[in-house]
Amino acid sequence: MARLLSWIILTPLAVVIVVFAVSNRASVTVALWPLPFTWQLPLFLVVLAGALVGFVLGAAVAWISAGKARRRARAKTRELESTLRDVAYLQHRVATLEAAAQATATAPSAGTALPPPADAA
């Protein structure tokens, strides 16, 4: 389902980008102010490069800002794993103690046996 959804979204987006690139092929002069360099580039390349740089910078800011949440999630995962190990150990310990208690309840103990009758000898 996700693959179909990505095709439904990405196909029209690709068509729009191609149409934009074909219709904006005029050359523009790009100059970065403090640098002495100038370039003659197609307009679509300048616009798409700007959009790509903006996307990458936005993704980097989002990734950095989510660092605290990722750290907290890793800590909670470690805490959960530790708790699950403790629960498994305690369940094993309870089962062992119940088995030992059941074994002692079914075995005759020396203190509860009745002494033999006096005339049996």
Per-residue model confidence as pLDDT tens digits over 56-90: 999 999 999 999 999 999 999 999 999 999 999 99
Domain membership flag for residue 111: no
Residue-range definition of the domain harbouring residue 34: 10-65
Residues 61 and 31 in one domain: yes
User: CB of 28 within 8 A of CB of 44?
Assistant: no
- Residue 105: the pLDDT is 81
Residues 74 and 61 in one domain: no
Q: Which stretches in the chain have pLDDT values below 70?
A: 107-118, 120-121
Domain membership flag for residue 117: no
Residues 82 and 39 in one domain: no
User: CB of 80 within 8 A of CB of 64?
Assistant: no
Token couple for 47: 């616009």
**Count of domains observed in the chain:** 2
Domain membership flag for residue 1: no
The answer for residues whose C-beta is within 8 angstroms of residue 41's C-beta and 6 or more apart is 27, 28, 30
For the entire predicted model, the pTM comes to 0.61
Residues 15 and 58 in one domain: yes
Residues 60 and 79 in one domain: no
